[in-house]
Structure formats: C-alpha cells, structure tokens
Amino acid sequence: MSAIVYPLPGNEVVAHSLAAEIDGEIGKLVVRRFPDGESYFRYETPIDGREVILVASLDRPDEKVLPVIFAAGTAKELGASKVGLVAPYLAYMRQDKRFNPGEAVSSIYFAKVLSSWIDWLVTIDPHLHRRSSLDEIYSVPSATVHAAPLVSEWIRGAISAPLLIGPDSESEQWVAAVAADAGAPFVVLEKTRRGDRDVEVTVPDVDKWRDRTPVLVDDIISTARTMIETVGHVRAAGLQAPVCIGIHAVFADNAYVELKQAGAGEIVTCNTIGHDSNRIDVSGLIASAVRRVLPI
C-alpha cells in the first residue's frame, strides 16, 4: 500500500509535491494551540497500518518539536508500519560540542529526542561542522541531500552573466564548486589589514566585472550579518546589486528587510522553509532521498 504523507502546518506545498513524486497519498492532520499554550494534535486521514511520512521543517524548533512527537507517537499507536520524518530544515546543528564549561550539547540531545520517536529522517543540507554525518548523532537511519546543484541550475537559468562572490577565503571551496557547476566565474573578497581597527575589504579585478551580476550564496540566511556585510562591500566597489541566494530561509527577526535595505538585488531561497523568497523547489530532491530510505 502507498505511503501517506502528512504535512505539519506550513509544509503543505512540499508535502503535496512529495506525495505526487512517490505516488503516495496526502493526509490531513490538525495541530492547534489551546488557550493555555498546550498543543492539540489529530490525524484526520486514517493511517490503516501504512507507511507514514511526516513533513515538518524545524526552523523555530522549540514550538514545533512536541507536535512532531505527538504526530509520531500517535501514528505508531494507530498502527503505522513505519514513521519517517522529512525535515527540509533541521534545527540544533550548531551546538555540536561544549564550547564553554557547563554548556548543553544541544545537537546531541535534540537528535536523541527525535530518534526515539521516528524510524528514519530525511533532510537537506544540515549544518554539519564537526560531524561528518548525521549518523554520529541520530540513531535512526537518515538520508541527507544537497541543494547546491539546484542552486547552480537556477543561476544558469535566471542570470545571464553571473559572478559568484565568496565573502572570505574560507568560503572559496564552496563558492568555486557552485560557480563551476553554474558555468560562471567567481571571486573571493580580499581583506587588507592596515591596523587593529582598519581593515579594507575589496573586490579583486573589480573593473573586469562591472557588467556581471554578483551572486552571493550561503547555506542558511539567519541574521544575514555576513551577507549584509558582503553586499555592502560589493556595492561600495561599484558593482551591480548582488543576487542573494540562501538554501534555508531562516531570516531571524528583521533580517529579510535589512538585507534588502543593505542593497541586495533579488533574494532567492529554496523552499525548505516557507518564505516569500522561495524560488527553488526542493521536492524532487526530497523525493529522491525518501525513495532511498523507504525500503528500510
């Protein structure tokens, strides 16, 4: 029997595409808050012993984790054969070690919480730093997919003369790869330190690139600080308004507006987190990963 794909609130678009791609059924559920702040959860579409796929992007995770747990627990009680979680954006990846004494290594605890309720996990570009894979923290099988090829494809299709820009030398490898894939040149901003508080940031070969559209790419746009700074340097050098691309549109507080005000051109994100800037659809990518884990 086909799988049922249940979107938690806000995940309807990706869930519908996913259901179509894997020949699954789309299911309905209800999540709401009681006046006292507790969450209510109910499946409207019966489960009937089938494979259940929950789609829940986990930005702003604290409010979302109990509904996901309630969904997983209820599905199992109601006889689901397996309960998988598709989290296009996965939270709590940054605090992956104890940087200071007494700190919670939240990435481990969050993984442990989720792993005890779900049977498998699919996500896109989790923010892996000191971990080489999710398997180090998640005890359930997982599949990770990367949106970079979709980003390169979007750049190829939408921008006639792009110039990829890396904010610093650390970003060179990642920017170089996206640029190569997009068939575009790239530069990395140069820092010249003249004193403790006097650092000049310049675009190399700036005259050569005046006719090109600068393109900035990052995995997560959260506070957008790095991107806003980079936009400033690019505009100060006299280049065109840069297109700003992020895989995950977290946009903390007022970051989206601030990035626009800083002089960004178009702001483009993948639909891993629902946002006005979503231009790149990841559901095909998710479907390919789900197909890999489904026979588990």
The only residue of 1, 2, 25, 60 in contact with a copy of itself, by rule CB under 8 A? 60
Residues 6+ apart with CB under 8 A from 161: 211, 212, 213
Residue (114 or 184) nearer to a copy of itself, CB: 114
Of 16-24, 74-82, 231-239, 281-289, which part binds a copy of itself (CB under 8 A)? Answer: 74-82
- Closest separation in Å from C-beta 241 to a copy of itself: 25
Query: Per-residue string for binding with a copy of itself, 167-206, x by CB under 8 A?
Result: ----------------------------------------
Binding of a copy of itself by 110 (CB under 8 A): yes
Closest by Cα among 184, 177, 194, 292 to 242: 184
Indicate whether 222 belongs to the interface with a copy of itself (CB under 8 A).
Answer: yes
Beta-ladder partners of 217: 245
Rounded least distance, CB 104 to a copy of itself, Å = 4
- Burial (CB < 10 A; 0-12, 13-18, 19+), residue 91, is buried
Stretch that binds a copy of itself, among 34-42, 131-139, 157-165, 173-181 (CB under 8 A): 34-42
Question: CA-to-CA distance for 152 and 182, rounded, in angstroms?
Answer: 5
Residue 41 is a binding residue for a copy of itself (CB under 8 A): yes
Residue 57: CB minimum distance to a copy of itself, A: 12
Interaction residues for a copy of itself, span 252-271 (CB under 8 A): 252-253, 255
Alpha-carbon Rg for the chain, nearest whole angstrom, is: 21
Can you tell me whether residue 94 is helix, strand or coil? coil
Q: How many CB atoms lie within 10 A of CB 155?
A: 24
Q: CA nearest 283: which of 15, 78, 103?
A: 15
Angle at 133 between CA 128 and CA 135, to 5 degrees: 130
Sign of the CA dihedral with 85 first, then 90, 91, and 94 last: positive
Interaction site with a copy of itself (CB under 8 A): 29, 33-44, 46-47, 59-63, 65-66, 69-71, 73-74, 77-78, 91-92, 94-95, 100-106, 108-110, 112-113, 116, 220, 222-223, 250, 252-253, 255
